[in-house]
Amino acid sequence: MASVAFLGLGVMGYPMAGHLKNKGGHDVTVYNRTKPKAEQWVGQHGGSLAATPAQAAEGKDFVFSCVGNDDDLRSVTAGPEGAFKSMKKGSVFIDNTTASAEVARELAAAAEAGGFSFLDAPVSGGQAGAENGVLTVMVGGEQDAFDRAKPVIDAFARMVGLMGSAGAGQLTKMINQITIAGLVQGLAEGIHFGKKAGLDIEKVIEVISKGAAGSWQMENRHKTMNAGKYDFGFAVDWMRKDLGICLAEADRNGARLPVTALVDQFYKDVQAMGGKRWDTSSLLARLEK
């Protein structure tokens, strides 16, 4: 059993922290910017809560975070009451936020100067994956820190891989989001085309999902897309945040992402339709408006 802190109890962090406590059997202290959510978590799972990230991290072997963006991450780590103020020597900070590779490298350097380790470890699998403890975790950092942290991360993951040095986890997550953007747009266009052609979409998907066109998105989202229901996954607002990170990194490294840039603008259209909190499969709604 390890001594663990978890910072950020949103739709992903809340169940992830729960798996660390219940499946992993770890001693977990939680921090959330909105205190009632932390109180709710403790009431449901046990453990304890802290008033600041620094208090949560004090004396812990492993500290996890899952917050909104680069600025939120800097606040809970290097801010005035951030976890880096109290991390003990030899401990490991594991960040599950989807953020930039730049901030990951920045915080890894700060952690090294403080005598502890930092792993950027964004996740994929959505809210359902977090709730079921079957997330994919893409990690950047040093091998020794990864080897120590992996058995703890395993409590909420089915796949954990070290992708390279600091920032590599975030870069891998960018590839994940770039790929998903194109897949969802293709699926949306296919369903839209099929409807216009008068085909039975369920019959179509039953056949083509067993061939080269098959994907996780097709298997898990085609029914709700066909029904015009878009409240089953990752929100459009968050996808645009992630695609913005991808496009900014592409500007730095010279990669060309024409489809990603186009789909990002399609999601902007969905936002303008009132779909900020719809899931990413709502690209179909844009085609059908």
Helix/strand/coil for 268: helix
DSSP letter, residue 156:
G
Q: How many residues does the chain have?
A: 289
Catalytic residue among 35, 173, 210, 268: 173
What does the DSSP assignment read for 204-256?
HHHHHTTTTT--HHHHHHHHHHHTT---SSSBHHHHHHHHHHHHHHHHHHT--
Q: What is the rounded distance in angstroms from the CA atom of residue 120 to the CA atom of residue 91?
A: 14
Tell me the sheet residues that pair with 48: 29
Q: Where are the alpha helices (DSSP H) in 98-215?
A: 101-114, 126-132, 143-153, 168-196, 201-208
138 and 161 in contact (C-beta within 8 Å)?
A: yes
Q: Would you tell me how many other CB atoms lie within 10 Å of the CB of residue 156?
A: 29
H/E element, 259? helix 258-272
Contact assessment for residue 12 and residue 127, using Cβ atoms and an 8 Å cutoff: yes
Respond yes or no: is residue 173 known to be catalytic: yes
Provide the annotated active-site residues: 173
